Amino acid sequence: MTREYPEYPMVGVGVVVWKDEAVLLIQRGKPPRAGAWSLPGGRQELGETTREAGVREVLEETSLEIEIKGLIDVVDTINRDDSGRVRMQYTLVDYWAEWISGEPTADTDAADARWVHPDDLPDYKLWNETLRVIHVSAKSRFGS
């Protein structure tokens, strides 16, 4: 199935990964949104759970091992063309996780990967939904 003008929505998984007081960001190396900063993640593959997809995507994109701690939210993104036809649609399942081991190294779809303190997130021009799920995950993790 193609990303543009699909027959049904695709499932994507994003993961907010924490190490101490920092969150993991990746710079996308490929479309969609090449060059933009985001959370690690990608499409769920046939036969895997969304949690398995999250762990796999973080490992593939950053070489980090993580442990999923909880579900943050499910976000629907629908992009329509000028005629109103659905051009792209994703159901994004966002989890939060703790770092277990490794140093962030950009791999597969990522051009860069790094730990970022939450105070520095505005410098990365993140999508509003990305900022929101990071904030929600911080509440789950830190209880504030």
Residues of the chain above pLDDT 70, percent: 99
Write down the pLDDT at residue 1: 67
Please give the average per-residue pLDDT across 111-124, as a whole number: 95
Whether residue 2 has pLDDT greater than 80? no
DSSP string for the chain = --SSS-SSPEEEEEEEEEETTEEEEEEE-SSSSTT-EE-SEEEPPTT--HHHHHHHHHHHHH--EEEEEEEEEEEEEEEE-TTS-EEEEEEEEEEEEEEEE------TTEEEEEEE-GGGGGGG---HHHHHHHHHHHHHHH--
Per-residue pLDDT tens digits for 118-143: 999 999 999 999 999 999 999 988 77
Amino acid at 126: L
Write down the pLDDT at residue 85: 95
Domain boundaries of the chain, sorted by first residue = 10-142
* pTM assigned to the model: 0.91
Please give the average per-residue pLDDT across 107-115, as a whole number: 88
Per-residue pLDDT tens digits for 23-66: 999 998 887 778 899 999 999 999 999 999 999 999 999 999 99
Homologous superfamily of 10-142 in CATH?
Nucleoside Triphosphate Pyrophosphohydrolase (3.90.79.10)
